[in-house]
Chain A
Amino acid sequence: MTSKQHTAEHGSQLEQVNGFTNPGIPEHKPRVTDSSPAAERMAERQIAGWFILSMIGTLWFIVSYFLFPIEDGSMGSIRLQNAMLGLGATLALFSIGVGIVLWAKTLITDVEVVESRHDIAGSEEDQAIALEIINQAKEESGIARRPLLRNTLIAAVAIAPLPALLVFRDLGPLPGDSLFKTLWGPGVRLVQDPGMVPHEDRYIRAEDVTIGSAFHVIPEKMYESEHPLNEKAKAAVLLMRIDPQELNTDPAKEDWGVDGIVAYSKICTHVGCPVALYEHQTHHLLCPCHQSTFDVTNHCAVIFGPAKRPLPQLPIAVDDEGYLVAQRDFVDPVGPTFWEINTRETSEQ
């Protein structure tokens, strides 16, 4: 609250602040409306015009509510009414805003004004009073004279958050080996993913998987497990049949497929999107999220994109009744890489 308030001497305060010259306020240039009464009247009419337009918008809203009724919930009439009401409301509100802004810009005085901030520090008088209050409190509470009270209080406050740390345990059990294991296991039949809770599992015969086919597969009895969707997020598999001559099979994985039928995890090794865009002529599997591309003929090696590991292959076989079954769980962990991925030898079981 000093005498600096409300001063505006254009270009006169050339003072040095932090090594920079303060250029001051630019010269005030009068507007057309300041000098020409005709322009002023024109601006006034314009602004009034915007306010009148706003009234028209409001009236249009009311009129169109009756002019464009909703007929039997027909989508076309709902859309027409929405568009017309929206047009009215937009005109009504937007025009008021434009009018006010125009008013401020053309008619209200635009002479620059400087209004200084008050000092950040309080006055010496206030500071002295505050210090006095603190000293008084120190004296009356005796906190300096009674170290036992002071120290026990500090200790009590310090350990008070510990229970909160304890209840973090209730956020859930540690993942344990759940990142390494899925519902697949020896003899688990492959069933078709029905896209919804099925009446019964549809098993898959090897003969049904013709060349060029792609089956979206889940483990049998998945919907009877405790958390079916959690299980599906790990166990989903894409089953394809490719001419065995086109497959470059790793000798160590020779018996992981059945006569050209191969099964790969559908969970991308990048961030876990379902990799299911299968091109049956190029044998490329494409992930829709980040375009990681896997070559099915080379054990789903990554040929493009951000994924770092090939899609894990599910070793499959045919059981006595001719249905496709898993030989065992995935050898490599499915899905995105995680910190502990190398903490376990994958060759157990």
Chain B
Amino acid sequence: MAQATTRQVIKHRRNSRQSRGDIVFETIVIILLALLALVIIYPLYFVVIASFSEAKAVVGGDVIFLPKGLTLDNYMECFKNGDLMLGYKNAFILLIIGTAVYLFLTILCAYPLSRRDLWGRNGIMIFCTIPMFFGGGLIPTYLTVTKTLNLHNWAAVILVGGVSTYNMIIMRTFFQTSIPFELQEAAEIDGSTPFGTLIRIILPLSIPVICVIGLYYGVGIWNSYFSALIYVSDKNLWPLQLFLRQILVNADLSAVDGGDVADMARRAMRAEIIKYAICVLASIPMLVIYPFIQRYFVKGVMIGSVKG
């Protein structure tokens, strides 16, 4: 009781002792941050409003704060595009398989290494950390995967990812610090095997970190194009990012076919605007998942980052 009052007094004093300098300082900080938020959000906002606007208005520079001539045509055009839809389907399948495989491997690696009583733990840890700093490089990896292991297409793309040591360390730190070791000991005294402990004790208590690491892996798989570029030769298996690269960056207009639009200039204009819709469509899956995971996010990341 007495302590609470003292604390209140201190708090009250601190608030009332906000000098004029402090108020000016905080105002400047808030203005700076608001400006920064604006700079970061505006390009994204512009992409969204442009994607809902008529091509002519965007190209003419009329779309600045609000969409002009609200339309869904740009999106309709995207949905009609076979390549994009195929890419979407492939990327989703890769996303699900990849995230599951990576999480499976990472958990199986992190849990034993989180156990203090595991003989050889430090040695295994070093074995896992070395690849973080030294890798074979592009060609040795490519030759190993395609020639020695004879893996191609999706198998290669998925397996080359595997365990990220950084994520594994975050997970291991979480197992070590957030789950009391006594809990595991108690379960083992009651006759639980290590596999049983993992499934019944560790996993239910680790939802936050599993979600966060899953998000890391998922975003990585969804957004990367390089391993698909070198390992996937069959165009029917291309993930979305490769088609995007073709349309957005290499400006391959044939992929966005206007159909009825006859003259070149108008077609180029349309293609340019459709790109905005494509950007939105390609980013939405990751941005939609994010708020659901965000509540676990701070907890999971903080634990890993402070001690890992």
A and B assemble together: no
Which residues from chain B sit less than 8 Å from chain A, CB to CB? none
Which residues from chain A sit less than 8 Å from chain B, CB to CB? none
